[in-house]
Amino acid sequence: AFDLMESGGSSVQPGGSLRLSCAPSINPIRSRCMGWFRQAPGKEREGLATFYIEGNTAHYAESVRGRFTISLDNAKNTLYLQMNSLKSDDSAMYYCAATAPWYGTPCPTLEVDYRYWGQGTQVTVSS
């Protein structure tokens, strides 16, 4: 087992940008899928982006494609979510997650398939 620690959440105006970070407690992290999810009050948790570590490949939900970018910095052993052109609808608690060892794409998109979760970091988009 290992831990995930998110950071980078903040309040930002519509149209602004934020970069979220996720640091796993194991180094290096490999042979897994990692993902970013979010949950707004009263809504179900939504999968945003997944990253297959061994293949260095990313996939995005339609709601964020073209605005958000998921990436892994191997040197820093840190997963990022770059969020641009933020909207009020993007306000939510954002979570980083990782699967058990996983080989091949595509990465799963359902939260039930992710075994390890961070505590979340709050993003608020408001003028």
Helices (H), the chain: none
**Alpha-carbon distances of 66 from 25, 59, 69, 86, rounded to whole Å:** 30, 11, 8, 11
- Strands 18-24 vs 33-39: parallel, antiparallel or unpaired: unpaired
pLDDT, tens only, 37-88: 999 999 999 999 999 999 899 999 999 999 999 999 999 999 999 999 999 9
What are the pLDDT digits (tens) for 4-40?
999 999 999 999 999 999 999 988 888 899 999 999 9
Q: Do the bridges between strand 92-98 and strand 121-125 make them parallel or antiparallel, or are there none, so unpaired?
A: antiparallel
